[in-house]
A and B are shown apart, each in its own frame.
Chain A
Amino acid sequence: MKTNKDIQSTIDKTLQAFDTIETVEVSPFFKDKVMQRLFLEKEEPETVRFWFAPKMQLATLICVLILNSLVLAKLQKTDYKEDVSQFAESFELSTDNDTSTLSFP
């Protein structure tokens, strides 16, 4: 069983434990890791933004919207019947001017 004197001696030794602590060297790749984190990682999104910046994104969106509305307007103008008859004529499916060789009196 430890006496109070022993305990005090252990405490003193514990408090002195840090006096012999040795310097720990930082890992040799630490600098490279930090430099990479500071610069390379920050450059990557920049290159992405370079060709597809917010301005470009907005311009692309406007172009798509204009093209869509133009196509929609053109579709509304076109007459459906006209298209169908044109189609039928071109494939000789029309019944209007029948050119059958069998003629009935």
Chain B
Amino acid sequence: MKEDDFIESLRKGTNKAYSQLLDEYQQKVFSTCISFIPNKEDAEDIAQEVFVEVYNSIHTFKGNSKLSTWIYRITTNKCLEFIRKRNTKKRFAFLQSIMGTEIPLDKTGYFTEMNHPGIILENKEKSETLFYAINQLPEAQKIVFTLHKVNGKSYQEISEIIKKSVSSVESLMFRAKKNLQKLLENYYKNNR
């Protein structure tokens, strides 16, 4: 079936079309979610929200981008929305930082409980630290780094998702790595 026909059947809201959509995208959407939110239950809840959003907003999809790109855009936005909400709940961490805590990488303020079955045991500690550090990055850098390094997307795919040029994506990636280096350096120096 051509993509246009498939989109049309999604607009009609047929059971068959959504069954096909789920077969094709459930794993991809879930993988993206768990890259941003390293907790299996939370990631599944957000993935569900993504498909509900696709169902509700498919009539607004104008076809300017590929369907997959549009779905990944929804996924990224849903994940960031979740992180933002959870981070505001952890206000005590912010208070701690303005009270003069020297460590900028603060694990107590992290938005979720780590539960990522794909992380091997010997890397658990390091991965946790890296997830905490990513959470401290500015949003644009966080998206690019997560989609590329954790989710394994190419710069081209990321540029389509975030509607920026490939060179902007490269620049964001460079800055993200630099900031992570600084954050981790501070963290390990303070935890000697």
Instruction: Tell me the A residues contacting B by CB distance below 8 Å.
Output: 1-2, 7, 10-11, 13-15, 17-18, 20-27, 30-31, 33-35, 37-39
Query: Is A14 within 8 A of B184, CB to CB?
Result: yes
Residues of B within 8 A of A (CB): 15, 18-19, 22-23, 26-27, 30-31, 34, 40, 44, 47-48, 51-52, 55, 116-120, 123, 126-127, 129-130, 149-150, 177, 180-181, 184-185, 188-189, 192
Query: Which residue from B40, B55, B120, B130 sits with its C-beta under 8 Å from A24?
Result: B40
Q: A14-B184, A22-B118, A26-B30 are in contact. List 7 more A-B contacts (CB 8 A).
A: A14-B126, A17-B127, A22-B119, A24-B40, A34-B52, A37-B52, A38-B18
Chain B: CB-nearest residue to A27:
B44
Secondary structure class of chain B's binding surface, majority of residues:
helix
Min CB–CB distance B51 → chain A (angstroms): 5
Are B188 and A24 neighbours in the complex by a CB distance under 8 Å?
no
Please provide the 10 A-B residue pairs with the shortest distance between their CB atoms, ordered closest to farther. Answer: A22-B118, A17-B126, A26-B30, A24-B118, A14-B126, A17-B127, A11-B184, A17-B123, A31-B22, A7-B188
Asked whether A10 lies within 8 Å of B188 as measured between CB atoms, the reply is yes
CB distance from B34 to the nearest CB of A (A): 6
B129: nearest residue on chain A (CB-CB)?
A: A14
Shortest distance in angstroms between B24's beta carbon and chain A's nearest beta carbon?
11
List chain A residues, Cβ under 8 A from B47: 26, 30
Please give, as numbers and ranges, the residues of chain A lying within 8 Å of B177 by CB-CB distance.
15
Q: How far is the CB of A5 from chain B (nearest CB, A)?
A: 12
B22 near A35: Cβ-Cβ < 8 Å: yes
